Amino acid sequence: MPDITHIHPMLVHFPISLFLIAVLVQIATLVQQGDLAADDCLPQVALGALVIGTVAAIAAGVFGDIALEHAAELGFPEHELEEHEELGFATVWFFVVLTSFTLFARFRGIALDGGKGWGVAAAGVAGVVLLVMAAAHGGELVYELGVNVEAVTP
């Protein structure tokens, strides 16, 4: 069984890829003059990726808190750890709100096409920028500081 502190980096790649897919599929839908809240293939794929990505992001955040506590106990700089935590927290909540809004529109029959759809997609792009910032910071923690990485002897 893997060390519980290693579960965060195992999970975090799912929301990263799913949010990227969701936003790209939203843009593809809108380029084809589609509605992000429609009961069509592309909007459903985008919404499914948002929902699954959000659930995975929440799980990654829970295990990220566990990994952060362990890293702090080992003496890693808390400021760096907390900065990543704040970026991750902001990213999770951003996508919780975006996903909730999209689900609300879909189930209430509110069209997300034209300007409204592009607004949602633009918000998704902003969320992806936030996501990339959080991911880059996490990468720095691992690859520059060696946070929660076991030493390997070549």
pTM exceeds 0.75, yes or no: yes
> What is the torsional sign of CA 139, 144, 146, 148?
negative
Give domain status of residue 90, yes or no.
Answer: yes
Residue 151 has pLDDT above 90, yes or no: no
Give domain status of residue 148, yes or no.
Answer: no
Give domain status of residue 26, yes or no.
Answer: yes
* Across 19-25, average pLDDT: 98
The C-alpha atoms of residue 89 and residue 77 are separated, in whole angstroms, by 19
Number of domains in the chain: 1
State the residue range of the domain holding 89: 4-143
Among 21-30, 34-43, 69-78, 84-93, name the one with the lowest average pLDDT.
Answer: 69-78
Question: Residue 48's pLDDT band (boundaries 50, 70, 90)?
Answer: very high
Give domain status of residue 85, yes or no.
Answer: yes
Note the pLDDT of residue 153: 65
Mean pLDDT of the chain: 93
Note the pLDDT of residue 22: 98
Note the pLDDT of residue 142: 87
Give domain status of residue 17, yes or no.
Answer: yes
Give domain status of residue 149, yes or no.
Answer: no
Residue 145 has pLDDT above 90, yes or no: no
* Across 139-147, average pLDDT: 88
Q: 28-57 burial, b if ≥16 CB within 10 A, otherwise e?
A: ebbeeebbbbbeeebbebbbebbbbbbebb
What is each CA distance from 83 to 68, 113, 115, in whole angstroms? 11, 36, 34
Residue 67 has pLDDT above 70, yes or no: yes
